[in-house]
Amino acid sequence: MPFHARLALCAALLLPTLPAANALAEDAAVASRLDARGIKYEVDEDGDYRVTYNYAEEGRTQLVFVSGRTESIGGFRVREVFAPAAWVDKDEIDGARALALLEDSRRQKLGAWEIGGGAVYFVIKVPDSVDAAQLEAAMDIAAEVADNKEIEFSGERDEL
């Protein structure tokens, strides 16, 4: 087999592994930022970083996730910080409540409400270049906004 054919074959075999290597680098970037702030986390099956906030005085917890991957748009690398606040069916998120969430999104200075997989999430999309303190601040905001909305929708129930 000629050298250039072998080189092309090697390149074809290696290219599919590059995104995986890049994903590992992104994961390490999130882990190092969370570690720098002393934040305890678990990596879920999707590769997202799961953090449980504990509001001891209120006797509540709130889940917050940092996406284990980034997306690119217009030259920006963006990472999502998201926190679930309600179940669409269980918490009866109908048209009126969805419109109220859109209105609330307009008032938010950072982040907005989204629906996915049967849940309502508060999502903050940050440039991946944020430092550890900024990432933690986004997580704090997402947790507080989502937990307050969970109380509004479900009362005392604390599932998310």
Instruction: Print pLDDT tens along the chain (160 aa).
Output: 443 333 333 333 333 434 444 444 456 889 999 999 999 999 999 999 999 999 988 889 999 999 999 999 999 999 999 999 999 999 999 999 999 999 999 999 999 999 999 999 999 999 999 999 999 999 999 999 999 999 999 887 776 6
Pairing of strands 60-66, 112-116: unpaired
- Give the pLDDT score at 57: 86
> CA angle, corner 56, sides to 55 and 60, nearest 5?
55
b/e per residue 113-127 (b: at least 16 CB within 10 A) = beeeeebbbbbbbbe
- Give the pLDDT score at 160: 65
User: What predicted TM-score, i.e. pTM, was given to this entire model?
Assistant: 0.81
- Give the pLDDT score at 58: 85
